[in-house]
Structure 1
Amino acid sequence: MQPVISFRDFSFRYKSQSSATLKNINLDIVRGEKIWIAGPSGSGKSTLAHCINGLIPFSYGGEITGELYVNGKDSSSQDIFERSKSVGTILQNPDAQFVGQTVGEDVAFQMENEATPQAEMKTAVFSALDLVGMLDYEGQGPHDLSGGQKQSVSLAGVLSTKADILLFDEPLANLDPASGVKAMRLIEEIHQAGGKTVIIIEHRVEDVLQEPIDRIVVMNEGEIAAIGTPDDLLAGGTLASFGLRQPIYLDAMAYAGLSLQGLSNLRTPEGILGTLDKGKLEVWMDSVESPQEQRDGDVLLELRDVTYAYDAGRDVVRQVSLSIGAGETIALLGGNGAGKSTLSGIITGLFKPRIGEVRLWGESINNWSIRRRGTEIGYVMQNPNHMITQHMIWDEVGLGLTARGFSPTEREERSDEVLKICGLYPYRNWPVSALSFGQKKRLSIASILALSPKLMILDEPTAGQDYRHYTEFMDFIAELSNQGMAFLFITHDMHLALEYADRAVVMAEGGVIAADTVANVLSNSEVTSKARLRETSLARFARAWGLSSPSRFVQAFIDYEQKGKTSHE
């Protein structure tokens, strides 16, 4: 069978770089395959995708050697318009793709460019929207939708073009766990029903593997480092060897001394085929002791029965009470629209509560200005593009320091320190525009970190980060926490909550529905379902294999990993 995509000794060097970003790529993708392209940041994943969809060389210039064939045609003979008929691309930021005033107009955009007859176009638009469950929103503005709905509209847009290759670039980046599960299931249904060739680039390993994948292509330093089925690469520990996070239930099995030999279908905790030594798992679970010491720091921030409404009569935050101690890390969890970001706006002073009180070090700050609160409370938005104002990286980090009157020497010392902490020091003299989304995220965090707040609110701090950068950054956050800085993580990343949070506070429909240890929260299927979260794969594994206490199994994993980190310090 002729491959639908074929790279032959293919290399690419960006115009502004001295060395190649892609090197000696040889890859055949067969029609109807579902491929996951994995790899750390900077490995060449996105560049490979841009070569497939035509953004290279038509938007990003450079030097190409070797050959690339798409649908049997030499890519050098195709223009970007012709390529778009074969390859439909869904970006990690759906807002960047919207061009229509309504959902229907946006889905119809390419067909309008191709002068498709109106009756045929309407049928195709309605069919695509119905397939992704968005037909009822056909007349609504796309920018008014939730993150999951926007992603569905983007998917409908490429479906309506009849492209036979679908390329997904970080499709789960802005989705809560429940929406992420739904998105991956929808992609699989479209793959099966339409015989599409599907290529996925995504950091959220367990979410990608929840649905079938034919092959995983691992990129590293611009080259293809490994290709194989999920079982081949998971059993051999290939993902971990290239700095990627493998499913955490496989880590737990390794900690308990269980071999993966003789097991198959490893991509989901419930689907593993073979015989597991349940007794060995129980013994390990009961043997792990907690290395954590109880925090007894003073209460830094306290919310008392806080209620807020954007419009009269509709409270989006309802009677929320919580406290954060000095040096404590709390994961604020919940689905899109649960009220998490609004609550952070109340804490920072952006919104004034209709009822209730916000206290800092025991003092009411309801009447404090945003500027005054900013001396004690730092806030980093989910989208770094909403925060960054300077053209150069070093200027962005130093902006707040300049506004607060720091001397040039102090400004330079602090800026250099946080750039090193956030892995951006080598790029300090680069323009911001040269950074990836994940790097911009780290830059926005560095800018606030330089101001040394007592409490940092981080909205999706690990979005777009590969596992290595995620771990380096979060380990540093843990060090700051040990020194007394408190952190509130607003996150959809259950791994972050498991590994780095002291407690989890869960919101749904504007109220707090649970506040407990992370292990207890993420092992409670009733709470996770109501909050549009996803029960951790550790609890699902424990339940599927009949272990005595799923929550105890989750806590054992947390304690074991914490003990390992402590022993390496």
Structure 2
Amino acid sequence: MIEFKNFTFQYRSLGTPTLKNINLSIQSGEKVLIAGPSGSGKSTLGHCLNGLIPFSYSGEITGELQINNIEPHKASIFDISSHVSTILQDQDGQFVGLSVGEDVAFREENSNVTVDIMKQNVKTALKKVNMENHICKSPQELSGGLKQRASLAGIIMSEAPILLFDEPLANLDPASGRSAMELISSVHEKSNKTIVVIEHRIEDVLAEKFDKIIIIDNGIIAASGTPAELILDGSLRRFGLREPLYIETLRHAGVDLKELDVLDIYSLNSPNVKENIDNWIENVKPKVLSYDEKILEIKDLTFSYNKKDNIIKNINFDLYKGEIISLLGNNGAGKSTLSKVITGICKNSKGTISYKGENIDSWSIRKRGQEIGYVMQNPNHMITQETLLDEVSFGLKLRGYKKDEILEKAENTLKICGLHAFRNWPITALSYGQKKRLSIATILALDPSILILDEPTAGQDYKHYLEFMQFIESLSKTGLSIIFITHDMHLALEYSNRAIVLSNGEIIRDDTVSSVLSHAEILEQANLKKISVSTLAGVLDIDEKLMLETFINYDHREMV
């Protein structure tokens, strides 16, 4: 169905090829995961499959590529669309309709499907992704996760034999991510279409069966095999990808994986595995952290966009100097809206916000921005300059820094965020994950006292995730207070001191992350997902909270 032969592609704006001598075959009906570090060439490979290369991104192609017996770069983008349907990594580039329903109907509308049948098909597709209540909304009104679900509904309508998903889970809450993978598997089983998924969230993806994983690193195919093969030989870890957390737990406890069915967590209930895990838990000592200097105080905070329906309701919590907290909850729970109220982008209708004991309700956005840095979920909403160095320097110029100070701070921040090698690149040449890091670098350069990060690890491979989170953790030790708005339960578990869980605009839990993730009712109410460490605890009849706390306290970074 898909075949690359000695295929090389070089963007016109770059001096070296992004894809180098790719040789790859994907058979009809296979379900394949393409993974690799951020910037490795995964999305470029996807763009070659769906025709965005060369029709939207120009460059030089050598070698051969055939998709369902056509050569895409010699066909038209219209011809390719009948063979390959795509969910793009950049959500805002996905939509063409003025409403969700109109966007989902776009393909059938162009195929002259009758209105009655089209409407019914659209409703069916939206129902499958729990979006039927949003059929009349503009895509631009939706949260990142809801946009992703609307995109999934659109691709369900496709008759193309190949479905390409470029990071379909990037902005979904955990439970919605699980549903999305189940939906993709259901489409595969019922239609036998060829499925290609490009994704970082290995644990969520491998909850479903895949025929093989292809790892791309630095533009070449670095490894290829079944999921079990690549877990056992350590390829995922070696190339900057994260294994499922229950696999990490087994490794931490010294369990020999070679004799196990590593993809079936429910088969791991053996005396040897339990003995290793029990010994591991007994030998890992708890870490106790305490904070005493309150830096932010939120009291009875309420906000409504239309002065009728409250999006957030009576929010109360404190943030301490050097503390890291995670805001958790389902898509649309009010997490991003709360951050906009804290930063002054939106004006609270009730309640107060105090910074270091001072009421800041009357502070301007600019004044708040000097103390509270905010990195939006979508990096395209923040980027204004042409090159990376210009982008990071821009805010420093507005703050009145001297020229030599600007250059030094900008370059140091780009180094910290792993982007210094690309400092003179045009931002348009970056992957989505690299743009995320750039938007974070831009705010970090301004030295805020509080940093709010909306989905900071979306689109990041494990290597950059680990480097960045270690850096964030080191900043917190200098006194920087950090709020994560995240769907990444791994991030919340390993790096947060506390979790605040929102549902329907209200706080339903403010507790340690281990307590939250071991509380079944809270997980269900907030559309969160039990992570595989908890599942393994249940399989081995070990207390979930104890297992999670041991995982947190274990210095996992030494294992990378």
TM-score of the two chains, using structure 2 as the length reference = 0.94
Match of 1:277 in 2: 273
1:286 aligns with 2:282: yes
Task: After superposition, give the CA deviation of every residue in 1:393-448 in whole Å (9 maximum; x if it has no partner).
Answer: 22221222222222222222222221211122222222222222222222221221
Which residue number in structure 1 is paired with residue 97 of structure 2?
100
**Is 1:203 the equivalent of 2:197?**
no
Task: Find the counterpart in structure 2 of residue 427 from structure 1.
Answer: 422
**Does residue 493 in structure 1 map to residue 457 in structure 2?**
no
Distance 1:20 1:350, change over 3 A: closer
Query: What's the % identity of the aligned pairs?
Result: 50
Q: Does 1:267 align with 2:263?
A: yes
Letter paired with 1:425: H
Query: Could you tell me how far apart the structure 2 residues matched to 1:380 and 1:173 are?
Result: 16
> In 2, Cα distance between the equivalents of 1:118 and 1:367?
52
Tell me whether 1:320 sits opposite 2:301 in the alignment: no
Moved more, 40-49 or 431-440: 431-440
- The answer on 1:60 being equivalent to 2:57 is yes
What SS class does the counterpart of residue 333 from structure 2 fall into?
Answer: coil
Partner of 2:357: 362
3-state SS of 1:521 partner: helix
1:309 maps to what in 2? Answer: 304
Q: What displacement does 1:276 show?
A: 4.8
Counterpart secondary structure, 2:10: strand
Q: What is the CA-CA distance between 1:27 and the residue it aligns to?
A: 1.5
Q: Is the 8 A contact 2:89 2:432 kept in 1?
A: no
Moved more, 393-402 or 500-509: 393-402
Q: How does 1:245-256 map to 2 (within 5 A)?
A: 245-256=242-253
Does the CA contact (< 8 Å) of 2:146 and 2:331 recur in 1? no
1:403 is matched with which residue?
398
Q: CA RMSD in A?
A: 2.3
TM-score by length of 1: 0.93
Paired residue total: 560
1-side partners of 2:308 and 2:133: how far apart? 26
1:13 aligns with 2:14: no
**Structure 1 pair 268/178, CA: closer, same or farther in 2 (3 Å)?**
farther
Instruction: Give per-residue Cα distances to partners, 1:29-60, cap 9 Å, x unaligned.
Output: 11111100011112221111111112222222
Q: Which runs of 5+ in 1 are unaligned?
A: none
- The alpha-carbon deviation at position 136 of structure 1 amounts to 5.8
Distance 2:399 2:96 in 1: 41
Within 5 A, what are the aligned runs for 1:90-239? 90-115=87-112, 125=122, 128-129=125-126, 131-132=128-129, 134=131, 137-239=134-236
Give the residue type in structure 2 aligned to 1:95. Answer: D
Instruction: Return the alpha-carbon distance in structure 1 between the equivalents of residues 381 and 417 of structure 2.
Output: 19
Say if 1:240 and 1:246, in contact at 8 Å, map to a contact too.
Answer: yes
- Which SS does the other structure have where 1:497 is aligned? helix
**Corresponding position: 1:86 with 2:80:** no
Report the Cα offset of residue 117 of structure 1: 5.8
Q: Which residue matches 1:480?
A: 475
AA aligned opposite 1:286:
E
Deviation digits for residues 339-372 of structure 1, max 9, x if unmatched?
Answer: 2112212221223333322111122222222222
Corresponding residue for 2:367?
A: 372
Residue of 537, 547, 550 corresponding to 1:553:
547
Deviates more, 1:70-79 or 1:550-559: 70-79
| Cα drift, residue 316 of structure 1 | 1.9
Distance 1:70 1:134 in 2: 32
CA distance in 1, matches of 2:350, 2:69: 65
1:339–1:510 CA contact under 8 A, matched in 2: yes
Partner Cα distance (1:335, 1:45) in 2 = 28
Q: Distance in 2 between matches of 1:67 and 1:9?
A: 7
Question: Which residue does 1:69 correspond to in 2?
Answer: 66
> What CA distance in whole angstroms lies between the structure 2 residues aligned with 1:120 and 1:367?
54
Q: 1:353 to 1:155 in 2, by over 3 A?
A: closer
Can you list the C-alpha shifts for 1:216-255, whole angstroms capped at 9, x where unaligned?
Answer: 1111121111111111111222101111101111111111
Q: Which amino acid aligns with 2:528?
A: L
Q: Is 1:346 aligned to residue 328 of structure 2?
A: no
How far apart, CA to CA, are the structure 2 residues paired with 1:504 and 1:64? Answer: 48
